[in-house]
Amino acid sequence: MSADQQPSGAVGRADAKRERVVAALSGGVDSSVAAALLVERDLEVIGVTLNLAGVASRCCALADADDARRVADHLGIRFYVANYAERFRAEVIRPFAEDYLSGRTPIPCVACNSRFKFEYLLERARVFGADRVATGHYARVDVDPDTARLRLRRAVDRRKDQTYFLFELGQEQLAAIEFPLGGLEKEAVRARARELGLATADKPESQEICFVPDGDYAKAVEAICPEALPGAGEIVDREGRVLGLHPGIHHFTVGQRKGLGLSAERPLYVARLDAGRNRVVVGEAEDLNAKGARLERVSWVSGVVPNRAVRATVRVRHRHVGASASIEPRAEGQAVVSFDEPVRSVTPGQAAVFYAGDVVLGGGWIAESL
């Protein structure tokens, strides 16, 4: 039975004796163990796989649903597949390509998490009579003792921490989310999966964007938006002197050194992408340093926009360790970040996420470096 169909009466009625939770099962080891931990707590668990990207994807596709189904059978829980492939293409895949063609470097995983894992999945959960969802993300949620508001905190395993991709979550969503793996190390999760005999225990992880399994972003953009490709353009230095030609700005991102096809006495890097003029602007290493960034679509986990500048550690990439900075909120969901020391390769389209220790304060999307 598909979760797109109305569930039977047995599934639709809430169990008065046990809390009902919907567990997102991606077909990987993390979500499998997360569901198992919920079962061990004697919760009534319903497994749901979101078919997002179709059979060509390496994540959340029908092939992974087979592994998820085996895990659900092993755990003795109900299992459903919800088809969101068309919506995912319209709301995540297409904007990903359009961002590249606009000179930005997007992070589709944020929209996927915020919208599909914690908005649409929660809607689906309520159809099943559940008010909570659980996933295999490495993150934690607790209550701020000073404000009584919910906090999003980094995972114990810093190598696997995924809070950078979850900064858009607010109070309503956090109140309905469980992250069973937030307090565990990855090695412990693998060991638990083997101990339980789960089919996904030794399944490898994909480090690429799920709908770009070979890592060739430019080829993916060309397949998604063939009608919008800008074609060849100029590579110029910061003074506007033409140094060469490029095959399309979607082949480049800020900080890139390889693939420029230029010879110079000193290494050259992509400093900026000028989509309006279809130009790749290059410079030397020091030209990549930014004193700050202008952000748009800023969200605050607490739900309260600060009325003054905030001191925080700001991460401008998933693997960025973070830099000390001041964040000044502006009108219309904007903010300006001022770094204490210049930060390299602050890239439009990426997220700037604010941390106070291991607590996520919020974040926004980089519109331009300053």
CATH code where residue 347 lies: 2.40.30.10
Same domain for 309 and 277: no
Count CB atoms within 10 A of the CB of residue 296: 15
234 pairs with which residues across the strands?
A: 245, 279
Instruction: Look at residues 247, 263, 283 and tell me which one is the last residue of a structural domain.
Output: 283
Task: Say whether 112 is catalytic.
Answer: yes
| Alpha-carbon dihedral 209, 215, 218, 223, rounded to 10 degrees | -70
Average pLDDT over all residues of the chain: 90
Specify the pLDDT at position 190.
96
> Residue 62: is its pLDDT beyond 70?
no
Q: ∠ CA 115-364-295 to the nearest 5 degrees?
A: 140
Which amino acid would we find at residue 300? W
Q: Which of 60, 109, 112, 225 is catalytic?
A: 112
Same domain for 302 and 277: no
Specify the pLDDT at position 204.
86
Specify the pLDDT at position 11.
41
Q: How confident is the model at residue 9 (pLDDT cuts 50, 70, 90)?
A: very low
> In this structure, is residue 328 part of a structural domain?
yes
The number of folded domains in the chain is: 3
> What φ, ψ does residue 16 adopt, rounded to 5°?
-70, -20
> In this structure, is residue 309 part of a structural domain?
yes
> Residue 18: is its pLDDT beyond 70?
yes
Same domain for 279 and 294: no
Specify the pLDDT at position 3.
45
User: In the chain, what percentage of residues exceed pLDDT 90?
Assistant: 76
pLDDT in tens, 199-253: 999 988 876 777 887 788 999 999 999 999 988 999 999 999 999 999 999 999 9
Same domain for 304 and 272: no
Burial label, 74 (beta-carbon count in 10 A; 0-12, 13-18, 19+) = middle
DSSP per position, 208-255:
S-TT-TTS-HHHHHHHH-GGG----EEEE-TT--EEEEES-GGG--TT
Q: How confident is the model at residue 16 (pLDDT cuts 50, 70, 90)?
A: low
Which amino acid would we find at residue 276? G
Same domain for 345 and 294: yes
Q: Which residue has the tokens 């809390």?
A: 19
> In this structure, is residue 161 part of a structural domain?
no
Q: Compute the half-sphere exposure of residue 50: CA atoms within 13 Å on the CB side of its CA.
A: 28
Q: How confident is the model at residue 4 (pLDDT cuts 50, 70, 90)?
A: very low
pLDDT in tens, 311-370: 999 999 999 999 999 999 999 999 999 999 999 999 999 999 999 999 999 999 999 999
Specify the pLDDT at position 1.
42
Q: What's the DSSP call for residue 206?
A: P
Instruction: Look at residues 248, 268, 283 and tell me which one is the last residue of a structural domain.
Output: 283
Global pTM? 0.89
Residue 15: which CATH number? 3.40.50.620
Same domain for 261 and 338: no
DSSP per position, 130-160:
-SEEE---SEEEEE-TTT--EEEEE-SSTTT
Specify the pLDDT at position 14.
45
Same domain for 293 and 279: no
> Residue 91: is its pLDDT beyond 80?
yes
> In this structure, is residue 219 part of a structural domain?
no
Nearest partner of 305 among 275, 277, 338, 327, judged by Cα: 327
Same domain for 28 and 85: yes
pLDDT in tens, 67-89: 999 999 999 999 999 988 899 99
Specify the pLDDT at position 61.
54
Q: Which of 59, 60, 109, 210 is catalytic?
A: 210
> Residue 293: is its pLDDT beyond 60?
yes
Please give the residue range of the domain that contains residue 110.
9-136+180-196
Q: How confident is the model at residue 2 (pLDDT cuts 50, 70, 90)?
A: very low
Q: Beta strand 233-236 with 242-246: parallel, antiparallel or unpaired?
A: antiparallel
pLDDT in tens, 126-160: 999 998 999 999 999 999 999 999 999 999 999 99
> CA–CA distance from 265 to each of 51, 256, 282, 325 (Å)?
50, 17, 14, 34
Specify the pLDDT at position 216.
87
Same domain for 269 and 187: no
Same domain for 43 and 26: yes
Residue 263: which CATH number? 2.30.30
Q: How confident is the model at residue 7 (pLDDT cuts 50, 70, 90)?
A: very low
Task: Say whether 59 is catalytic.
Answer: no
SS3 state of residue 53 = coil
User: In the chain, what percentage of residues exceed pLDDT 70?
Assistant: 92
The contacts found for 56-65 with CB under 8 angstroms, 24 or more apart, are 56/211, 56/213, 57/210, 57/211, 57/213, 58/206, 58/208, 58/210, 58/213, 59/26, 59/27, 59/28, 59/206, 59/210, 60/26, 60/27, 60/210, 61/210, 63/27, 64/26, 64/27, 64/28, 65/27
Q: What's the DSSP call for residue 46?
A: E
Specify the pLDDT at position 215.
81
The enclosing H or E element of 1 equals none
> Residue 12: is its pLDDT beyond 80?
no
DSSP alpha helix (H) spans, the chain: 9-12, 29-40, 62-75, 85-88, 94-101, 108-111, 121-127, 171-174, 186-196, 217-224
* Contact in structure between 42 and 121 (CB atoms under 8 Å): no
Nearest partner of 48 among 149, 115, 128, judged by Cα: 128
Q: How confident is the model at residue 263 (pLDDT cuts 50, 70, 90)?
A: confident
Count CB atoms within 10 A of the CB of residue 26: 24
Instruction: Look at residues 268, 283, 298 and tell me which one is the last residue of a structural domain.
Output: 283
> Residue 26: is its pLDDT beyond 70?
yes
Same domain for 338 and 262: no
46 pairs with which residues across the strands?
A: 22, 78
pLDDT in tens, 152-195: 999 999 999 999 999 999 999 999 999 999 999 999 999 999 99
Same domain for 354 and 308: yes
> CA–CA distance from 241 to each of 102, 146, 257 (Å)?
22, 56, 18
